[in-house]
Amino acid sequence: MRKLTVLLIALVLLPPSAVFAAASGMAVYQKACGFCHDSGVAGAPKLGDKVAWKERLGKGIEGLSESVLEGKGAMPPKGGNASLSEAEVRAAVEYMVEQSK
């Protein structure tokens, strides 16, 4: 119960844009990124795997977003979903980084 209370207080104190970004980042991840990053297909770092993400996190949000936009290794640009906007890519990257710290 205490964890729920703390979570609710945190959500109330966060600016609406931060709450939306977290929610939309998760939605974009589930729609466009999860297929590879949930299972580690073709060397994709698994979501939440701190060891696999450690070096990548050093690139920061901007660098990681750029890698997604341009494609990297086996990952095509925008993860193969050309309809994603830069904002959606960034939201997904932010979500993945938060889950992998």
Q: Which two tokens stand for residue 15?
A: 């600016």
What pLDDT score does 20 carry? 47
Dihedral sign computed on CA atoms, order 88, 94, 96, 99:
negative
What pLDDT score does 5 carry? 61
* Residue 27: how many other CB atoms lie within 10 Å: 14
What pLDDT score does 19 carry? 45
* Residue 93: how many other CB atoms lie within 10 Å: 25
Burial of 95 from C-beta contacts in 10 A (0-12 / 13-18 / 19+): buried
- Residues 11-32, mean pLDDT to the nearest whole number: 69
State percent of the chain over pLDDT 90: 76
What are the helix (H) ranges across 1-101? 2-13, 16-28, 34-37, 50-57, 60-70, 86-100
Looking from the CA of 81 toward its CB, the CA atoms found within 13 Å total 18
What pLDDT score does 86 carry? 95
**Using 50, 70 and 90 to split pLDDT, how confident is the model at 13?**
low
Domains and CATH numbers, the chain: 16-100 (1.10.760.10)
**Using 50, 70 and 90 to split pLDDT, how confident is the model at 66?**
very high
Q: Assess whether pLDDT exceeds 90 at residue 26.
A: yes
Q: Report pTM.
A: 0.76
- Residues 30-39, mean pLDDT to the nearest whole number: 96
CA distance 88 to 86: 5
